[in-house]
Chain A
Amino acid sequence: MAVLVFLEHHGSELQKGALGVLTKGASLGDTDVGAVLVGGGVRSLAAEAGAYGATTVYVADDGSFDPPLPQARVDVIAKVVGDHGYDTVLFANSVLAADIAAGLAARLEAGLNWDLADLVDQNGTLVGKRPALGDSVFVDVGWRSSPRIALFRAGSFDAVQTGGGAPQVEEVAVEPAEHSRAAKVVDQQLEEATGPSIEEADVIVAGGRGLGAPENFTLAEELAQALGGAVGATRAVVDAGWYPYSAQIGQTGKTVSPKLYVALGISGAIQHKVGMQSSNVIVAINKDANAPIFEFSDLGVVGDVHEIVPKLTELVKQRKSA
């Protein structure tokens, strides 16, 4: 088994989800673990990839690859797979990575299994674990040919440094295909980000209609800040304009699985549930004792978020500063 991992970066930061997938790839017991970095200046990120288990880092270090578009990245990864014979290619899900993985599958006529929560070696055969149909069933999926391509849901694996040495760095020279160069990014608007993004956060504090008004999202923000986490939102409040779409969790937003998910004033409709139920620990505060969210919470608190959350934030802060 020879594993290659696509490492997405934003600015000069490797994405934690991708490093988690690299950690997983390195744990599969291979001596050679490849990682691919694409974009201007990525060579400087190679050493960090080595710390998370990559033995060889393939860099397409070229500013013309900076726009976050999938198709030129398909060209790069297809070349690395073709030249070096990797039989397993892993991606951490994102808007960009999903399009790269699917394009690569078509290019290489390779199987793609997506939305995986884990990958295990069962007697020499790789098996993907895929929660499906609103996580009501876990499906074991396999690949019938090589290379195998896998796309993992956010937060599936912790990023852990392996203590590996400096990786070998190899330059990849690729002239992208004509259709890969056709789309151009002409403008980019970054949303103001304070703290970790919801894909990267270990803790998410999410708010729903039960917060009562948009300004009450400060309750979620202050608690998230105290816990070192990010703020999420339900579709209802995003649709109502209370919070940006980038924070939306659920079927039409993001699927997350942080270590701790705190749901404030969220009823737990199925559309939201599918986006967060694989979180390790779920704490819900809702004044409706019959809210569905209590059915899949580890700790459910029937009460008023406006009374409980400020006290909770204060207690967390005290504990952290103690």
Chain B
Amino acid sequence: MKIAVCVKHVPEGTARIDPGSGRLDRSGEGALNRFDANAVEEALRIKGDGDTEVVVVSMGPEKAADSLRKALAMGADRAVLVSDPAAAGSDLVATSRVLAKLLEREAADLVLFGQQASDGDGAVLWAAVAERLRLPVVSQAAELTLAGGALRVKRQNEFGYDVIEAPLPAVVAVSDAINEPRYPSLKGIMGAKKKPQDVLSLADLGVGAAEAGEAGSRTEVLALADPPARGGSQKIEGDGDAAQAIVDFLAEKRLI
């Protein structure tokens, strides 16, 4: 069996948007999106001691190789990075187009995602990728089991949870409640350097430059502004009258 895990290299520390390009500033240090570590862990858990191949894939700047190497250090077998200046600034339709091309090549039985990107808070990519691959998709997986060429997922939602079954191949986005990601061991870190790590261009995937990056995107950033300021904030000491003070405040705001 083969499992592909899609991961993102995100800026470390306080992220900022570059006012010139309207894009997230990716020039500084980066790290593996922490939610993607749950997806890597889940793939490794399914693999166990078996002969399943776990391949981690990403699209991003050259430095994204660091995040892929972390996944390899955790125990993944192989990494593929799509890195191309023409892919920078890709929105959802463009990113999903490129990633789907890569995943078509890999033809994995199971494609895993983490539950969101910690930088842009995006939590949508898997559904777009699954649509392009014409595969079933299940998100918010709190439990995942495989048996007999099918998967079974416990999906959390606003009302409780659903148990969903789907045949493989399929796309699953795991919740961060699904597991506790392992830390790479020293041996894992040393071994990661020797594992296969490919870097592909858009041309390698047969994606035209007009299909990716800003040219291939259907959304755009028009302007950046400071958030609206909150009104004056009051702070009071919680003495005996605090409850009454809160009620008066709520009444003044017409909230009760």
User: What residues of chain A have their CB less than 8 Å away from a CB belonging to chain B?
Assistant: 10, 67-71, 74, 94-96, 98-103, 105-107, 109-115, 127, 131-133, 135-145, 151, 177-179, 182-191, 193, 197, 199, 203, 227, 245-246, 251-252, 254, 259-260, 274, 281, 283, 285, 287, 289, 294-304, 307-309, 311-312, 314-316, 319-320
Contact = CB atoms under 8 A, between A and B. Distances in A.
Interface string B240-256: 00111111011101011
A74, A252, A254 pick with most chain B CB within 10 angstroms? A252
B51 interface: no
Contacts of B120: 132
Nearest to B100: A106
16 contacts: A102-B124, A102-B128, A106-B127, A109-B218, A132-B17, A138-B228, A139-B17, A177-B134, A182-B136, A183-B165, A184-B164, A252-B175, A302-B236, A303-B239, A304-B238, A319-B247
Contact of A260 (B17, B142, B255): B255
B160 A246 contact: yes
B16 interface: yes
Interface of B: 15-17, 22, 35, 91-93, 96, 115-116, 118-132, 134-140, 142, 152, 155-167, 170, 175-177, 217-228, 230-231, 233-239, 242-247, 249-251, 253, 255-256
Contacts of A143: 218-220
A60 B246 CA distance: 48
Main secondary structure of the interface of A (DSSP, over half): mixed
Given A95-B139, A141-B221, A319 B256 contact: yes
A102 B122 CA distance: 11
Contact of B231 (A189, A295, A298): A298
Nearest to B157: A95
B243 A294 contact: no
B242 A98 contact: no
A308 B217 CA distance: 52
Main secondary structure of the interface of B (DSSP, over half): mixed
B224 A138 contact: yes
Contact of A301 (B15, B135, B164, B245): B245
B224 A137 contact: yes
A137 B239 contact: no
B253 to A, nearest CB: 6
B247 A106 contact: no
Given A71-B137, A112-B93, A315-B243, A299 B249 contact: yes
A112 B119 CA distance: 17
B159 A197 contact: yes
The 3 lowest CB-CB distance pairs between A and B, nearest first, are A303-B238, A111-B218, A311-B243
B129, B139, B233 pick with most chain A CB within 10 angstroms? B233
A95 B164 CA distance: 14
Contacts of B231: 298
Nearest to B19: A137
B127 A103 contact: yes
Given A252-B115, A319-B247, A137 B225 contact: yes
B160 A183 contact: no
Contacts of B234: 298-300
A252 B176 contact: yes
A303 B244 CA distance: 13
Contact of B17 (A102, A137, A246): A137
A68 B222 CA distance: 35
